[in-house]
């Protein structure tokens, strides 16, 4: 069985369309805040495209998704990115989604996403989930994550986009996750294999991705010089834990120790790659060079490609 949860007017092909409003193509008129009328372990694929931001209790809905899905089912979620001012004040949005959201949906600490996606996070462990009294834990393993950026940022390279997205508002407008439902033991190579596979996604995604890839702006209208300090601080923090042997602070420690600064970090590759997408796959991050540099002995201080507005590439 395949499910489109909150399908609206454009039901995903081959799915049972569920929506509160009886649009043409909806197979089941149902409030997705209520328990789903399906047996346990009955779905091999579930998609929720721009529907989960409206639910009242996201944890309850995710538990229902986990319940009806089989082991190794694929779950695709597309949602508005949290760090957009228009999304923040939308009175209809009850839930927010960003790069940290999947860390609350598993208690497994096997990290599949590169460090560069979580500059602003003190805990070094992947999972941030806490047991909910009386509720069975869910295990949704993130195998791919992709961001969709406003067209004004077409001139920036991958690393600049990652830093801008995490340090200021109104850079990315949408996020897409792919999860593997885990109900039995699974190996790391198996997870990585799933992350490298072609995964189903909404039809409009390809158009959005192609539109951004075809942008050819000559000017960068936001300066990126200040972002070098973010890389230095993040590298210093990780180096402090490695060199001093200190344990990672708790996810709920209100006073984490501030590490000593360290000037050593590898230089960044400033060559701008051809944009074929903005996804982060398991152990295949486009910014893996930065991740590797934190464990090596670098001689030069990190620098971001700095261009002043008005100058051409």
pLDDT for the residue 133: 78
Would the pLDDT of 16 be above 90?
Answer: yes
pLDDT for the residue 118: 81
Lowest mean pLDDT among 16-30, 161-175, 245-259, 295-309: 245-259
- Bridge-based pairing of strands 140-149 and 69-80 is unpaired
Q: For residue 35, give every residue at least 6 positions away whose Cβ sits within 8 Å of its Cβ, in sequence order, or none.
A: 64
Binning pLDDT at 50, 70 and 90, where does residue 157 land? Answer: confident
pLDDT for the residue 311: 44
**Tens digits of residue pLDDT in 254-298:** 333 333 433 343 333 433 333 334 554 443 444 444 444 444 434
Across 55-59, 230-234, 298-302, the highest mean pLDDT is recorded for 55-59
More confident residue, 14 or 310: 14
For each of the domains in the chain, give its residue range(s) and CATH number, in order of start.
2-213 (3.40.50), 225-293 (no CATH)
Binning pLDDT at 50, 70 and 90, where does residue 233 land? Answer: low
Alpha carbon distances (Å) from 41 to 6, 10, 32, 143, 246: 20, 25, 18, 20, 42
Phi, psi of 47 (to 5 degrees): -125, 140
User: 239 pairs with which residues across the strands?
Assistant: none
Binning pLDDT at 50, 70 and 90, where does residue 225 land? Answer: confident
Would the pLDDT of 313 be above 50?
Answer: no
Q: How far apart are CA 282 and CA 280, in angstroms?
A: 7
Q: State pTM to two decimals.
A: 0.74
pLDDT for the residue 232: 64
Q: Which two tokens stand for residue 233?
A: 């601080």
What is the per-residue DSSP string for 169-224?
Answer: SSSEEEEEEEEEE-SS---HHHHHHHHHS-----HHHHHHHHHHHT---S---S--
**Tens digits of residue pLDDT in 56-92:** 999 999 999 999 999 999 999 999 999 999 999 999 9
Provide the percentage of residues in the chain whose pLDDT is more than 70. Answer: 70
Binning pLDDT at 50, 70 and 90, where does residue 149 land? Answer: very high
Phi, psi of 110 (to 5 degrees): -75, 110
Q: For residue 172, give every residue at least 6 positions away whose Cβ sits within 8 Å of its Cβ, in sequence order, or none.
A: 81, 83, 84, 147, 148, 149, 150, 161, 165
**Tens digits of residue pLDDT in 80-129:** 999 999 999 999 999 999 999 999 999 998 877 888 888 777 777 888 88
CB 73 within 8 A of CB 43: yes
More confident residue, 188 or 40: 40
More confident residue, 152 or 20: 20
Q: In what order do the strands lie in the sheet with 16-19?
A: 28-29, 16-19, 2-5, 43-49, 69-80, 172-181, 140-149, 279-281
Helix (H) or strand (E) holding 228: helix 228-244
Other C-beta atoms closer than 10 Å to the C-beta of 15 total 20
**Tens digits of residue pLDDT in 45-63:** 999 999 999 999 999 999 9
Q: How far apart are CA 209 and CA 161, in angstroms?
A: 15
> Mean pLDDT score of the chain, rounded to an integer?
78
Q: Categorise residue 8: left if φ over 0, alpha if ψ from -120 to 50, beta otherwise.
A: left
Q: Which two tokens stand for residue 152?
A: 């004004």
Q: How far apart are CA 271 and CA 267, in angstroms?
A: 12
CB 74 within 8 A of CB 179: yes
Q: Residue holding tokens 């008005």?
A: 310
More confident residue, 48 or 313: 48
Phi, psi of 233 (to 5 degrees): -65, -40
């Amino acid at each position: 069985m395949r499910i489109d949860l909150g399908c609206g007017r454009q039901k995903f092909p081959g799915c049972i369309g569920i929506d509160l409003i009886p649009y043409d193509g909806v197979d089941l008129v149902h409030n997705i805040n209520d328990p789903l009328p399906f047996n346990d372990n009955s779905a091999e694929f579930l998609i929720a495209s721009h529907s989960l931001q409206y639910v009242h209790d996201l944890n309850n809905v995710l538990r229902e998704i986990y319940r009806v899905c089989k082991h190794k089912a694929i779950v695709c979620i597309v949602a508005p990115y949290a760090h957009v001012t228009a999304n923040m004040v939308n009175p209809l949005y009850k839930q927010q989604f960003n790069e940290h959201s999947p860390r609350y949906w598993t208690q497994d600490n096997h990290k599949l996403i590169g460090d560069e996606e979580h500059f602003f996070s003190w805990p070094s462990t992947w999972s941030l989930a806490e047991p909910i009294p009386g509720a069975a834990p869910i295990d949704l393993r993130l195998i791919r994550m992709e961001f969709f950026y406003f067209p004004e940022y077409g001139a920036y390279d991958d690393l600049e986009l990652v830093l801008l997205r995490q340090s200021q508002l109104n850079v990315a407008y949408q996020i897409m996750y792919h999860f593997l439902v885990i109900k039995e033991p699974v190996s790391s190579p198996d997870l990585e294999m799933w992350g490298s596979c072609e995964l189903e996604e909404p039809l409009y995604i390809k158009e959005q991705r192609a539109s951004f890839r075809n942008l050819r702006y000559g000017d960068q209208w936001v300066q990126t010089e200040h972002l070098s300090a973010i890389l230095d601080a993040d590298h210093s923090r990780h180096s402090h834990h490695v060199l001093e042997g200190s344990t990672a602070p708790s996810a709920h420690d209100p006073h984490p120790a501030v590490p000593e600064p360290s000037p050593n970090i590898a230089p960044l590759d400033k060559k701008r790659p051809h944009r074929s997408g903005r996804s982060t796959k398991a152990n295949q991050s486009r910014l893996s060079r930065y991740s590797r540099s934190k464990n090596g002995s670098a001689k030069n201080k990190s620098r971001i490609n700095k261009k002043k507005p008005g100058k051409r590439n």
